[in-house]
Amino acid sequence: MGFFESLGDGWTIYLWLIIGGMIIIAAIYGIRWASKNEQFDEDIKYLVFNEGDQDKMTPEEYAKSREVLVAQEKSRERHLKLEEERKKKK
């Protein structure tokens, strides 16, 4: 406790500023990571539908769900290939 008592008044504000800066940096890093890893995809909601849900959807919604499914499968295959290449390099 002697060290903290020797610092004088007002030292805690600097501690809070450093911690706040670290939180902001972590948030920016997390958003950047999410953006690079396709985490902000609004069409993801269409992936819960399958062929049996066609009667519950408008033709436009159903067509969109099929397009999104095909795009997600291509993205999945691309990521799996990238992961396989990374494993081969190691």
Domain boundaries, the chain: 11-40, 42-90
- Reference 64, options 80, 45, 89, 88; nearest CA is 45
| Segment 28-36 mean pLDDT | 94
Task: Say what the pTM is.
Answer: 0.57
88 token code pair: 């081969």
pLDDT tens-place string over residues 43-85:
878 888 888 888 888 889 889 988 988 988 998 899 899 999 9
d(C-alpha 68, C-alpha 77), whole Å:
14
State how far the Cα of 56 lies from the Cα of 34, in Å rounded to an integer. 32
pLDDT digits (tens, 9 = 90+) for 1-27: 577 777 777 888 899 999 999 999 999
Q: Which residue has the higher pLDDT, 27 or 36?
A: 27
Position 6 scores a pLDDT of 76
